[in-house]
Amino acid sequence: MLRVNIYYGGRGLIEDSTIYVMNKLTEVLQELNVDVKKYNLYEDKRGISVLPKTLKEADAIILAASVEWFGIGGFLQQFLDSCWLYGDKEKIRSLYMMPVVISTTYGEKDAQCMLVKAWETLGGLPCNGICAYVADYTEFETNPDYALLIEKEAESFYRTFSKKRKIFPTSTNAVCENVMRSSSINLTPQESEQLSMYVSDDKYVKKQKQDIEELTQMFRGMLGNGEEEEKNKDPYITAITDHFYPSPDISLSYSLYLQDMGKALVIQVDGRELDCFYQETEKADADVVAKLNQKIFDNIVAGTATLQGSFMAGMITAKGEFKHLRTFDILFRFAEN
């Protein structure tokens, strides 16, 4: 018995006429002694990555998209991505695909074109499909003329994949075979399928993330001593650390771009926690972003000037709330030894 898989990328809404079209196609194909299996992608989002293995049991497939505002939607796009990453390309090359796109807004033609191009890129064989704009789903689903059109398309699709009719070659196939590559790692179809199962396994993915985090912490600990020694050698970081007077209610960040050095000194305060480090550019999301030269900052850490006073004197340019400049002078009291 021939087998057709339907992959539905909509949200399963009652008013989605894509469901009506899929049901009509299923009725006709079953009358023609075709086994039809439908996969609702919205029902198992994590399982989408393992669905490419179901292509092996199919003689043809139907990709059904609902255009509600723009494009084919995320579920169907994720399925196509998984076919590209984990699908058996040899099997896909022999698979006929019928696109079904029902739109409640503008863009059904673009979405159909995208499905056809995506399947050609995968190496598959696209067929004629159903593409329609539906303003009133009740009127569409009760119209006998539309029902007849759907039946005719189903019969035409059946004749195409059952007789394995030849399809004209396209430039997309030629370009993909010569230019595009699915992965830099050469995997067998079995290995790709196994990888897709790992990706869909939440416990496995979580464990991998934990292992990576543990390795990161381990190497950070090995390198940490050297980083701390480097920080302790810097006079500005040492001065800021030594003159920090924490306040449990204050959480602020400062980015002081030292123009002579060509890098920014980032100071992050969270209650009693202090972190101070350099970066090449300003930290744009800091509460205060200031530009100054080293001489002015030398005066500030020596206690002969303040950040707020230097700004008022026009020696510093700064962005942020004015009160945070005063807060800096409260948190870091360089005049007190």
| DSSP structural state of residue 46 | G
Report the chain's C-alpha Rg in angstroms: 31
Domain boundary residue, one of 140, 163, 183: 183
Task: Indicate which CATH number applies to the domain containing 161.
Answer: 3.40.50.360
For the chain, the domain total comes to 2
Asked if 13 and 77 sit in the same domain, the reply is yes
Measured CA to CA, the distance from residue 259 to residue 173 in angstroms comes to 54
Mean pLDDT of 16-22: 96
pLDDT in tens, 180-218: 554 445 566 666 656 666 556 666 666 767 777 777 777
Question: Which residues span the domain enclosing 103?
Answer: 2-183
The CA distance from 21 to 11, in Å, is 15
* Final residue in a domain of this structure, among 161, 183, 205: 183
CA distance 92 to 75: 19
Mean pLDDT of 217-239: 67
Instruction: Convert the pLDDT of each residue in 48-97 to its tens digit.
Output: 989 999 999 999 999 999 999 989 999 999 999 999 988 998 999 999 99
Side-chain-side CA neighbours of residue 124 (13 Å): 28
Q: Does the pTM exceed 0.85? A: no
**Residue 261 vs residues 9, 294, 309: alpha-carbon distances, Å:** 54, 8, 22
Which segment of 181-185, 243-247, 327-331 scores lowest on mean pLDDT?
A: 181-185
Q: What whole-number distance in Å separates Cα of residue 247 and Cα of residue 182? A: 54
CA dihedral 82, 88, 91, 97 (to 10 degrees): 10
309, amino acid identity: G
